[in-house]
Chain A
Amino acid sequence: MTPMTPNGATPVGAALAEEAAFEKPVSRGEPILEVRDLVKHFPLTRGVVFKKQVGAVKAVDGVSFDLMQGETLGIVGESGCGKSTLAKVLMNLEPATAGSVRYKGEEISHLTGSALKAVRRNIQMVFQDPYTSLNPRMTVGDIIGEPYEIHPEVAPKGDRRKAVQDLLDVVGLNPEYINRYPHQFSGGQRQRIGIARGLALKPEIIICDEPVSALDVSVQAQVINLLEKLQNEFNLSYMFIAHDLSIVRHISDRVGVMYLGRIVEIGTDEEIYEHPTHPYTQALLSAVPVPDPVARESRDRIVLVGDVPSPANPPSGCRFRTRCWKAQEKCAQEVPALTVREWLEGPAAHDSACHFAAERENGQ
């Protein structure tokens, strides 16, 4: 397989990705989730009884991407960039303000009732905080078995206990723990329980919202490995949201970078990490601390000035322009489209929302 960019361009020189393809022989490349111009605004209101809208927090403001069958799409960005809201809107936990989400070609963003329930079987979520995402009053068996109670057609009543124990086994927990309560487990084990719950309905897509950021370093790797194994085993498509760039690179086939509610750059992991063309991606990558003291003298770090503007009142034109060293008049007037710039070649030719997209000259 070759990971594809939304417009169908094939990336060049993705040697590592090809190697990974050996392990993932499933028919891929078909988009399973198509997101177009997705918008989520949270109204800002004033008044208690007679509410008056005075503005809106533009948490997600025109996001488009495709999630391919069997791939992992990483979404990175700093806090407040809208990546978690994006996950909630895709899960139909928050209604979209505008835009479309198509699952296997079918519009799902405005579904309700039983149609929505049917879609939920196929799109599941793993939450960030394993300490708050499990109901403390329910046993592990009840938590993982609940999906079957809500969707009885998935597992007949008599088989449920067995199904739950199988799931525990799949995620690496002792099936005998079925009667224990969440507080008797450590963070990593709880996250496994959360993953088992997400798997129960045999979904095709799992949205992982910072699934390891609350875990200890030594446990993070265990959970990442588990997620990768499950992906191979069950042919899952992942949307992997995180702020840890090295983990995202490890697990993702493609990566999208978000800033203030928009995707500023998207491409294969190779394209984004080795040949970033958007200034924000470049700054973000240069700031990641590298666990190698030898490199610390030679690093060429871009230090961004100022703070992220408020999503209630984002800058005109390019949203990054207030902190960008390349910013010019054009950036304030024209919103840069997320496309391939014609002057770029090779791996640098991928979608980037910058009028002056270019690779960094010194170093990478």
Chain B
Amino acid sequence: MTTQVGSTMPVHEEPYSGPLLDVRDLHVEFKTRDGVARAVNGVNYSVSAGETLAVLGESGSGKSVTAQAIMGILDMPPARIPQGEILFRGKDMLTMGREERRQIRGQRIAMIFQDALSSLNPVLTVGYQLGEMYRAHHGTDRKEAKAKAIELMERVRIPAAAERVGDYPHQFSGGMRQRIMIAMALALEPDLIIADEPTTALDVTVQAQVMDLLAELQSEYHMGLILITHDLGVVADVADKIAVMYAGRIVETAPVHDLYAAPAHPYTRGLLDSIPRLDQKGQELYAIKGLPPNLMRIPPGCAFNPRCPRAQEICRREVPRLFEVTGDNDSPVPGRGSACFFWKETLHDADDA
């Protein structure tokens, strides 16, 4: 799929033209009491600086597990990475030394979680927790760290930052806490931010503010952003490109406009069709039949085949690779792929509709 030229560039800092992060054939499995759950089964994606990749999927699709593997916050065991590479600026984080990895994960890649309240320490002030990032990584002294904390809070537009720097996390509203999380992620000016459902716990009006802020800061700092979400609306608003995941695999990748205009995988199409639309008022909603698969018993062939309206014999037999999707004049659309044997039909069907 998104195999990038130039990812074999020399390892070190200096001029580096490849993608910021390149995940290749990543597998993650969990050992449970009842067997092995294959949460991620060969995921490939890449993000460049200044780019927003949205990873879209339902619960159990492996979207969050992939992010946790990148951040190195998987509990191992029970998790295991039997296969795959996570290249940060061309260097595999799974094989590099512990110290080097820690450096990258602390400073170069930052993560924002869904639940800001449980990610912040309730007994320390917000200012202290923000300042701690500087103290720990740059040895900044206490006073300067506090000044930096206020500056960060202002940057994420927390009103009256100087007065609120001494407040505790529970004294902030949900939206403000999520801003603080963003401020923390920004503190060390990372190259890449991974946001795992950053606005799911927030109300619609606040959601919009937080997403706007995130998008703005991203372009200001020219960071890469991986946005993990299940919300097709949020994705449409901010993403540059999209990877749709299902049962631990990427089933479709596409630039955002192409995906919404004409999905090339029946699953994506089903998701888009099941959103209530104005002209369907009073009609039955399109619903993808059945249920997401149990990760311990992923169906053979294409994992989506039992729910797929287009499934054929071949889908039950063979796992589809990510086919390159071509546009109208048969020339490949850059960055577009679909793991469906019938992507062409799916694509054209969408044109008709």
Task: Establish whether A and B are touching in the complex (CB under 8 Å).
Answer: yes
User: Using Cβ atoms and an 8 Å threshold, which residues of chain A touch B281?
Assistant: 16-17, 19-20, 249-250, 269
The reply to whether B207 and A287 form a contact with Cβ atoms under 8 Å apart is yes
Given known pairs A19-B282, A78-B205, the reply for A246 and B234 (CB within 8 Å) is no
**Dominant secondary structure at the B interface:** helix
- In the complex, chain B residues whose CB is within 8 Å of the CB of A269: 281
Complex contact A289–B203 (CB within 8 A): no
5 contacts between A and B (CB under 8 A): A217-B275, A221-B286, A291-B260, A291-B275, A293-B239
Name which of B4-12, B31-39, B74-82, B287-295 contacts chain A.
B287-295
Query: Which residue of A218, A224, A247, A303 contacts B209 across the interface (Cβ within 8 Å)?
Result: A303
Q: Which positions in A face B, CB cutoff 8 Å?
A: 16-17, 19-20, 23, 78-79, 186, 188-189, 216-222, 224-225, 228-229, 243, 245-247, 249-251, 269, 283-284, 287-296, 301, 303-304, 306-308
Q: List, in ascending order, chain B residues with CB within 8 A of A224's CB.
A: 276, 285, 287
> B236 near A: Cβ within 8 Å?
yes
What are the residues of chain B within 8 A of A19 when measuring CB–CB?
281-282
Contact A188 B236 (CB under 8 A): no
Please give me the 5 A-B residue pairs with the lowest Cβ-Cβ distance, nearest first.
A289-B233, A250-B276, A20-B282, A221-B287, A221-B274
Contact with A along B303-342 (1 / 0, CB 8 A): 0000100000000000000000000000000000000000
Question: Would you call B260 and A216 a contact (CB within 8 A)?
Answer: no
Q: Name, among B205, B230, B233, the residue most crowded by chain A CB atoms within 10 Å (CB to CB).
A: B205
Bound state CA distance, A216 and B291, in angstroms? 9
Residue of B nearest to A222 (CB): B287
The answer to whether A218 and B204 touch (CB under 8 A), given A290-B236, A296-B236, A307-B175, is no
Counting CB contacts under 8 A, is B176 at the interface?
A: yes
A293 touches B257 (CB 8 A): yes
B349 in the interface, Cβ–Cβ < 8 Å?
no
Are B204 and A291 in contact, CB atoms less than 8 angstroms apart?
Answer: no
Q: Are A284 and B204 in contact (CB under 8 A)?
A: yes
> How distant is the Cα of A269 from the Cα of B291 in the complex, in angstroms?
31
Secondary structure at the A interface, as helix, strand, loop or mixed, is helix
A198 CB, nearest partner CB in chain B, Å? 20
9 further contact pairs, Cβ within 8 A, besides A221-B274, A289-B237: A17-B282, A23-B282, A78-B206, A221-B288, A224-B276, A249-B281, A293-B257, A303-B209, A303-B212
| Contact present for B274 and A218 (CB under 8 Å) | yes
State how many residues of chain B have any CB contact under 8 Å with chain A. Answer: 47
Which residue on B lies nearest to A251, using beta carbons? B276
For chain B residues 151-169, which have a beta carbon within 8 Å of chain A?
A: 159
Whether A216 and B207, one on each chain, are in contact in the complex, defined by CB atoms closer than 8 angstroms, is no
Contacts of A216 in B (CB 8 A): 58-59, 230, 292
Q: Which residues of A contact B220 (CB under 8 A)?
A: none
0 or 1 for each of B216-260: is its CB under 8 Å from A? (1 = yes): 000000000000001111111111000000000000000011001
Question: Does B147 count as interface, using CB distance less than 8 angstroms?
Answer: no
Contact A225 B285 (CB under 8 A): yes
Residue of B nearest to A269 (CB): B281
B173 within 8 A of A: yes
* Cβ B173 vs Cβ A307 within 8 A: yes
Whole-angstrom distance between the Cβ of B24 and the nearest chain A Cβ: 27
Q: Are A247 and B257 in contact (CB under 8 A)?
A: no
Which of B208, B257, B278 has most chain A Cβ within 10 Å?
Answer: B208
Chain B residue with the shortest CB-CB distance to A223? B287
**B94 interface residue per 8 A CB criterion:** no
Kindly state the separation between the CA atoms of A306 and B256 in the bound complex, as whole angstroms: 32
Which B residues are in CB contact (< 8 Å) with A222? 287-289
A20 to chain B, nearest CB (A): 3
Q: Tell whether, in the assembled complex, residue A284 and residue B236 are in contact, meaning their CB atoms are under 8 Å apart.
A: no
Is A289 in contact with B231, judged by CB distance below 8 angstroms? yes
Chain B residues closer than 8 Å to A289, beta-carbon distance: 207-208, 211, 231, 233-234, 236-237
Q: Output the least CB separation between B265 and chain A (Å).
A: 13
Rounded to whole angstroms, the CA-CA distance of A276 and B231 in the bound complex is 25
**Contact A291/B272 with A221-B285, A222-B287, A250-B280 known, Cβ cut-off 8 Å:** yes
